[in-house]
Amino acid sequence: MDKARLRKIGLANLKWLHQHPALKEQKEQAISLELFQDPMWQKAQTIAITKPLDFEFDTHILLTEGWSAEKQLLMPVTNSERRLTFHQVTPETVFEKTAFGVEEPVNGLEVGIDKIDLLVVPGIVFTRLGFRIGFGGGFYDRLLQQYQGETCSLVFSEQIQEHWTIESFDLPVKRLFIS
């Protein structure tokens, strides 16, 4: 199956899950608990996450847990060259909605990707080996080519699809947390 079709199916699955908030929240809790107990999270001091769209994994619990553990948390900002830069977020951070409908921090200090210990990579569809299909902009594909640290994704079982052609530029995330 081609990526465009899989992306469409993945989005439909995520939107279905969003229509079942108790199930979605239960899965988010299970995934978060597993992540917080993992050495990947525990060792990381600087963690990059996203501010999700309403049907994606709600990362609010990661912010709360990260700040409580005194971790430096970052969120991406898209720049004019269609690349991501990462900016520190705090409870006082101001966000602005982009043309894509994503909220990005507008007042956080920029931090280089070489300072990120753990990159939590979003996606629409995943294989169990960590390959992913995103929204189609290639932002994280380009980033993963440069980034050398730990990577993981927080995945609902509804996002798992095993059968598509992996392309030469596709790089897997190192660890999936699935429920």
Binding residues for ATP: 3-7, 132-140
Distance CA(29)–CA(96), nearest Å, equals: 27
Which residue numbers belong to the known binding site for substrate? 56
What single-letter DSSP state applies at residue 159? G
Which residue numbers belong to the known binding site? 3-7, 56, 132-140
Across the beta sheet with 175-178, what order do the strands follow?
110-111, 84-89, 72-78, 46-48, 118-120, 150-155, 175-178
116-148: burial string, b at 16+ Cβ within 10 Å, e else: bbbbbbbbbbbbeebbbbbbeeebbbebbeebe
